[in-house]
Chains A and B, each alone.
Chain A
Amino acid sequence: MNRNLAQVLVRSAQEVPNREAVILQQREGDLPIQFGELVQGALRYAQAFQRAGIKPDEPVILILQHGRELIESFLGALLHGSIPAIMPFLTEKLSPDRYRESLQALITISEPGALVTYTEFLGEAKAAADAGSSVRSILLSSEIPQEGSLETTELPGLQRSPEDLALLQHSSGTTGLQKGVALSNRSVLNQIDSYKAAIGMTSEDVVVSWLPLYHDMGLIAGFIMPIMLRSKLVLMSPFDWVRAPYRMLRAVSDYQGTLSWLPNFAYNFCSQKIRDRDLEGVDLSSWRAVINCSEPMRNDSHERFYQRFKEYGLDKQALATCYAMAENVFAVTQGGFGTPLLIDSIDREQLSREGRAVPCSEGKQLLRLVSAGKPIQNTQVRIVDEQGNQVTDRIVGEIALQGDCLLSGYYHREDLTRKAFLDGWYLTGDLGYQVSGELFVTGRRKEIIIVGGKNVYPQDLEYLVADVPGVHPGRVVVFGLFNEELGTEEIVLVAEVDDDDQEVRVGIAREIRSVVAQGTDVAVRYVETVDPGWLIKTSSGKIARGANRDQYLQIKAGNQ
């Protein structure tokens, strides 16, 4: 029985050194990496952490682009027994000042002993890890020498006990970076066991992924799980994929890919933006599951995807769904394996007014929801009302979890950890209902927006925009609206502005867009400037996001 991730990794290097672990798809061509080489590469980092005096159980932050150094440094941290956390790398559009603030937020809360980055980024890393911070060493990926072998190196990671932390998982933005999901070796191994059983995954599977590794879906399904199960992983960068979505399909065809995970928007994106000429000769018949996960799942998106790619061998049975979150390592439920995906046709009006999912066969109120499936083994799901009492089937409430792969806590955030649990159940902040064990996710209580599978905290955007000249301080609201065409949420920002000159307002709106674009990794789709007094506040004086969203929608509907 494996007690920790390092043991699994070392065993693979010893037992199947020549087996292909990862095919890294790069601009220069495909780079196959065998288990032996992969672990040898990771060993370099483990030794570097050792030399730098990084203690086991101490976090290390990896500030690297999607690629070989990132995966090897991550695995190296596991071998050393330190706790890796990935910080999304600075992109060309981001303002360095804002990026530094985010990095500092991450460093302050997680107290890493080391950062790993590139020589070019050393100045920035030093500036963020200034005097007084926990960082004792900044390791440069170009200066990690190769020395010693697996047999001659002492690896503290092998001694980690199951309850010791394996890794930290963050979502992006200042708020997300201060809320690291701490996962133990036991939780990660339990997740892999249970999820493997749910999808029948074996070492014969070939996973094709373009998902970023700083996100739970990319980190677990698109990296750690295939590596631990010795399934081949064909990995491309999200930057390359977004510019050429056909590359994923070609990779499935070239490597007989069997499994992929995608956020809902990617189904629409692929259906709309790939030309026939780029699909010549592509054969998708090896794809046994394409799993929709990490943002609201739409039947319509599946339908578009299937219609677009069926002539290339896509099997309708391959369309699957999953409800997942970093707090449960990854998967909570899985749907569409063995049985076709369940679609529940319900009355939209009764759902929104009464919080009940009432079956309905036709009419304009018909809403077709895709099931997220049933819980994976050893994870229990229940729906609770505001008092925490379990409700019956078809009643909407908050989704709560119990099980053997839950988080150990939010790292160094006892306050948040306490708030997240009620009577031993983890409260997800998502809303849904159950029918005979099948879970349907209908919305969320927590105030996050999910754009293209990425969690965005509205308060981060509201904070950024408060400094824009002409905007009424503290009088800004951000919320999400689902766009059916794109298959994801779009961000709306409403700001109160004193000046009623139209030209001035247009200028302010443009400045708002630019500030958000350079301060975050998302874009605002609609910016609305309104008169003072427009925004609705709660009795305690806070901006009420839900009420303002409703008001915005009513005004838009009235204008049409």
Chain B
Amino acid sequence: MEQIETIASFISREILKDPARKLGMDELLISSGLIDSFSLVDLALFIEDQFGVRIEDTDLNVDTFDSLTELSALVERRSGSDS
């Protein structure tokens, strides 16, 4: 849960410039246009630094990167495969 909150607050604060914005777990991030394509790399770099996982650029699409639930699952998968 903490992990999701960290990601959510980064998105609200740094990408949306709207710190008070609360994101729903399944709220669409990319396909809704909430996160524009220029910010995808920022989000990937943040997640990599924060959780020590590797995000590939092919991950930055609507199938794996479109909601907090999906992002969290991606981080889980990558942390698992590293250990």
Contacts and interface: CB of A to CB of B under 8 A. Distances in A.
Interface of A: 27, 92-94, 239-240, 242-245, 247, 269, 273, 275, 452, 506, 509-510, 513-514, 517-518, 522-523, 525-526
A308 B63 CA distance: 33
B60 A243 contact: yes
Contacts of B57: 240, 243-244, 247
B33 interface: yes
B56 to A, nearest CB: 9
Contact of B33 (A269, A514, A525): A514
A452 B32 contact: no
B41 interface: yes
A273 B30 contact: no
A93 B41 contact: no
B-side interface mostly: loop
Contact of A517 (B18, B36, B40, B60): B36
A506 B33 contact: no
A514 B29 CA distance: 11
27 contacts: A92-B62, A93-B30, A93-B31, A93-B32, A93-B33, A239-B37, A242-B38, A242-B40, A242-B41, A243-B37, A243-B41, A243-B57, A243-B58, A244-B41, A245-B41, A269-B38, A273-B45, A452-B38, A510-B18, A513-B34, A514-B32, A517-B33, A518-B32, A522-B36, A523-B33, A523-B36, A523-B38
B20 interface: yes
Interface in B1-53: 16-18, 20-21, 30-34, 36-38, 40-42, 45
| Most chain B Cβ neighbours within 10 Å, of A247, A275, A523 | A523
Contacts of B42: 273
A522 B36 CA distance: 8
Nearest to A274: B41
A235 B32 CA distance: 28
Interface of B: 16-18, 20-21, 30-34, 36-38, 40-42, 45, 57-58, 60, 62
Nearest to B62: A92
A195 B20 CA distance: 51
A92 B17 contact: no
- 9 nearest interchain CB pairs? A517-B33, A244-B57, A93-B33, A523-B36, A243-B60, A243-B57, A92-B31, A273-B41, A242-B37
A417 B4 CA distance: 54
A402 B30 CA distance: 44
Given A240-B57, A244-B57, A273-B45, A514 B37 contact: no
Contacts of B36: 517, 522-523
B32 A506 contact: no
Nearest to A519: B33
A489 to B, nearest CB: 13
A242 B58 CA distance: 11
A474 to B, nearest CB: 25
A514 B18 CA distance: 13
A526 B37 contact: no
Given A239-B37, A506-B18, A526-B17, 10 more contacts: A27-B58, A242-B38, A242-B40, A243-B41, A245-B41, A247-B57, A506-B20, A513-B16, A517-B33, A517-B34
A526 B18 CA distance: 9
Contacts of B40: 242-243
Contact of B34 (A27, A239, A269, A514): A514
A507 to B, nearest CB: 11
A275 B41 CA distance: 11
Nearest to B42: A273
Contacts of A273: 41-42, 45
Contacts of A27: 58
B32 to A, nearest CB: 6
A93 B31 CA distance: 4
B8 to A, nearest CB: 15
Contacts of A243: 37, 40-41, 57-58, 60
A97 B5 CA distance: 34
Given A269-B38, A273-B41, A518 B17 contact: no
A269 B36 CA distance: 14
A8 B74 CA distance: 50
Nearest to B37: A242
B45 to A, nearest CB: 7
A92 B33 CA distance: 8
Nearest to A503: B20
Contacts of A240: 57
Nearest to A520: B33
Of B20, B45, B57, B60, the most chain A CB neighbours within 10 A belong to B57
A517 B41 contact: no
Contacts of B62: 92
Given A242-B38, A510-B18, A518 B45 contact: no
Contacts of A518: 32-33
B2 to A, nearest CB: 25
A525 B35 CA distance: 11
Contacts of A94: 33
A513 B34 CA distance: 8
A469 B20 CA distance: 21
Contacts of A514: 32-34
A12 B13 CA distance: 53
A238 to B, nearest CB: 9
Nearest to A490: B17
Contacts of A244: 41, 57
